[in-house]
Structure 1
């Protein structure tokens, strides 16, 4: 069975840097992390594009949007009512700290994940994404593709996010950039591997996968 360190090295050797998260600003990453919940990236992207057109992704303008109008702009992402409330909620929280991510990180320290989870609409995966991509922490993000990959590698108890997260410890040398790359590599490999319906090509991980 591959260790996490071996898996990271294999993925990086064969796939190279992923330049992920695809966004021009941290505000766009925050919005994308919420909008991509329970949908595919393209649907989230449509919603981001609409918000860009209407608000230039200015956080104050988004915060001041009537909730119903914000929800209409992000309708393509699905579950748009809850996602609209989540965007308003996290922006109001960030505004309390003038969107100064370093101040927030310093204030909450090791309890930052718990604080993020207390915000409306922010679950475990979204909280970890924000920790890695916004607050530059080192976290393992066992999203659905990652759980399927680890299951194929023979790991047990991979059915839920928290089950796999409790099992996996990132290598001690990991930097924030390593955590970023590992998440992106796993996610992009999963998209390419699991979304092909037939005639899947051999991949460099096949020899490690179990049926």
Structure 2
């Protein structure tokens, strides 16, 4: 298992603090987590702007949008047909619980991740984002930035989301706030230092090494 807390502490010590996920409500996070699939955040922002203008991210208004109108609003994010269907399905599901996130969490308990994965358009990464940012869970989000980071740190055999996630150890006392911060720090680090060999060599983690017995 990879002792990732050492990396978290280095990131926290050397990176500026800021709030992640960049959104004003849980509903905006849910939508953003679907829209960002297979595109960049700049495109997502156009779609979020359109939805904000139309619905103010009131969940009842999002759920009430006709599918074709929803798809047109999110067109800038690409794959808008499938993403529109995914957003509609998850908001119909939330509507079944009158948009009460605490009730949903209590209803599914430890099966919540499995339930999220059963929804259209919700894969491993999106499910973990929702667990951490919406349902206050503690999960390691093994996204592409995380995979690139730990590959740079010399960890082998972590190609793909599941392989890295299964290698990660988070201590039992790791909090939701720390899980959010860890994810955000990795993304920020990746944007600044994981561009190429030169930026990596200039980073404060370039000389970091794991105890081989622990990784």
Please give the range of the TM-score, normalised by the shorter of the 2 chains: over 0.9
The residue number in structure 2 matching 1:75 is 75
The residue number in structure 2 matching 1:61 is 61
Rounded to whole Å, the distance in 2 between the matches of 1:62 and 1:100 is 15
The residue number in structure 2 matching 1:131 is 131
Q: Is the 8 A contact 2:193 2:202 kept in 1?
A: no
CA displacement at 1:124 relative to structure 2: 0.5
Instruction: Spell out the pairing of 1:3-152 with structure 2 (5 A cutoff).
Output: 3-152=3-152
Q: How many residues align?
A: 210
Bigger drift between 31-40 and 52-61 goes to 52-61
Stretches of structure 1 lacking an aligned partner (at least 5 in a row): none
CA displacement at 1:199 relative to structure 2: 6.5
4+ runs of 1 displaced by more than 2 Å? 194-201
CA displacement at 1:156 relative to structure 2: 1.6
Rounded to whole Å, the distance in 1 between the matches of 2:73 and 2:100 is 26
Rounded to whole Å, the distance in 2 between the matches of 1:40 and 1:112 is 28
CA displacement at 1:209 relative to structure 2: 6.9
Distance 1:95-1:153 versus aligned 2 partners, 3 A rule: same
TM-score normalised per structure 2: 0.92
User: What is the aligned-residue RMSD (CA, Å)?
Assistant: 1.9
